[in-house]
Amino acid sequence: MPVIDLRSDTVTQPTAAMREAMMGAPLGDDVYGEDPTVTRLEQTLAARLGLAAGLFVPSGTMSNLLGLMAHCERGDEYIVGQLSHTYKYEGGGAAVLGSIQPQPIEMEADGSLDLERVASVIKPDDFHFARTRLLALENTMHGKVLPLDYLAAAHDFTRARGLALHLDGARLFNAVIKLGCDPKDICRYFDSVSVCLSKGLGAPVGSVLCGSEALIAKARRWRKMVGGGMRQAGVLAAAGLYALDHHVQRLGDDHARAARIGEALVDLGYEVELVQTNMVYVRMDDRADAFKAFCAERGILISAASRLRLVTHLDVLDEHVDAVVEAFAAFARR
Ligand SMILES: *Cc1c(COP(=O)(O)O)cnc(C)c1O
């Protein structure tokens, strides 16, 4: 029975062509700065984002951590959404490893942070307080795309307040494809951007942190300290380069399939949130565990939650969409 894995877009297998690109990549010791493929990935992605420099790292968690640590010193603070990955899903790394205090705030339904609310938690310059240094946003946020005019407002806000602005752009290219814009149209507002290669882009490993030369030089020091210096890492970077060349435009297919699932579930009477990119959120309440087991019998893997998240990706095809919709239909008929 084929397995249809909707738990995340991290579950993709590298394609045959991607594996071939990895096999043929020229390699060197990247800690010595001598891996041509890593260097090419860092420069290629930074250029595409319109930022000066890039740093290849093993994970998005490390990429965000290094970004926060490059912006903030010990005793500094960053403002972040309650549900943001950097705050909620990275083991408290900024606080634990960076001595950076998070100031989480409630998020808006569209995934943004209300700038007046942000302003209200910025600390005065007084030794009682941590020094507020940075605002961190996420895009896409739970599959939602932050509007460009909001990003412009956040940029102006941070300039006026002397804050830096970081983007957790794990799924930046999903936002780019949804908006039909250039990555620079989003990244021009940020001092640093973290992009995951191992989500919808379909590479097995890796993220890239992009920013100014000075910021990336700082992040490179921290990367070595936290154990992220890799040697012949070009074998991995080659997968990222391949993904940037071949797997960006096709994200639109993932979005179309997610939309198709969403529309079919609405027709079946399920409560579905508006689908913008590659995630479908379905309200399941206390039926989630039963539905998970029901799906497992049909070779469909989902993460059970009262607000169920289905994620489309490279390995979810049209016939899989049909099977998923049929599973929801059969579950509703039970
Ligand atoms: C997946 C993800 C990350 C990084 O995750 P890793 O598993 O460490 O690569 C960061 N931010 C967001 C929004 C993510 O979805």
Is residue 298 predicted with pLDDT exceeding 80?
yes
Report residue 304's pLDDT band, with 50, 70 and 90 as the boundaries: confident
For residue 113 the two structure tokens come to 């942070």
C-beta neighbour count of 27 within 10 angstroms: 17
Amino acid at 199: K
Say which residues have a Cβ less than 8 Å from residue 65's Cβ, sequence separation at least 6. Answer: 90, 93, 94, 97, 98, 222, 226
Nearest CA, atom 5, ligand 1? 60
C-beta 168 within 6 A of ligand 1: yes
Compute, in angstroms, the gap from residue 334 CA to the centroid of ligand 1.
Answer: 36
Tell me if 171 sits within 8 A of 200, measured CB to CB: yes
Q: In this structure, are strands 307-311 and 207-211 parallel, antiparallel, or unpaired?
A: unpaired
Which of 195, 199, 223 has most ligand 1 atoms within 8 Å of its beta carbon, as the pocket-test mutant?
Answer: 199
For residue 231 the two structure tokens come to 């040697």
Average pLDDT, the chain: 97
Q: How far apart are CA 177 and CA 2, in angstroms?
A: 29
Q: What is the pLDDT of residue 296?
A: 96
Say which residues have a Cβ less than 8 Å from residue 144's Cβ, sequence separation at least 6. Answer: 110, 111, 276, 277
Domain segments of the chain as ranges: 14-245, 250-333
- Residue range 250-333, CATH number: 3.90.1150.10
Q: How far apart are CA 201 and CA 184, in angstroms?
A: 18
- Mean pLDDT along residues 37-64: 98
- Which atom of ligand 1 is least distant from the CA of 199? 1
- Which atom of ligand 1 is least distant from the CA of 207? 9
Report residue 283's pLDDT band, with 50, 70 and 90 as the boundaries: very high
Q: What is the pLDDT of residue 242?
A: 98
Q: How far apart are CA 25 and CA 39, in angstroms?
A: 12
Report residue 3's pLDDT band, with 50, 70 and 90 as the boundaries: very high
Burial of 41 (0-12, 13-18, 19+ CB in 10 A): buried
Compute, in angstroms, the gap from residue 63 CA to the centroid of ligand 1.
Answer: 9
Q: How far apart are CA 108 and CA 261, in angstroms?
A: 25
pLDDT cut 90: percent of the chain above it: 98
Tell me if 334 sits within 8 A of 312, measured CB to CB: no
Q: How far apart are CA 90 and CA 207, in angstroms?
A: 14
Compute, in angstroms, the gap from residue 196 CA to the centroid of ligand 1.
Answer: 7
- Terminal-to-terminal C-alpha distance of the chain: 22
Q: How far apart are CA 166 and CA 189, in angstroms?
A: 9
Compute, in angstroms, the gap from residue 50 CA to the centroid of ligand 1.
Answer: 22
Architecture of domain 14-245: 3-Layer(aba) Sandwich (3.40)
Tell me if 241 sits within 8 A of 20, measured CB to CB: no
C-beta 143 within 6 A of ligand 1: no
Is residue 28 predicted with pLDDT exceeding 90?
yes
pLDDT tens digits, 250-271: 999 999 999 999 999 999 999 9
Report residue 2's pLDDT band, with 50, 70 and 90 as the boundaries: confident
- Which residues are paired to 81 by β-bridges? 105
Q: How far apart are CA 31 and CA 231, in angstroms?
A: 6
pLDDT tens digits, 163-205: 999 999 999 999 999 999 999 999 999 999 999 999 999 999 9
For residue 79 the two structure tokens come to 């403002």
Report residue 236's pLDDT band, with 50, 70 and 90 as the boundaries: very high
pLDDT tens digits, 115-163: 999 999 999 999 999 999 999 999 999 999 999 999 999 999 999 999 9
Nearest CA, atom 3, ligand 1? 60
Which of 80, 89, 278 has most ligand 1 atoms within 8 Å of its beta carbon, as the pocket-test mutant?
Answer: 89
For residue 266 the two structure tokens come to 């609405």
Q: What is the pLDDT of residue 288?
A: 94
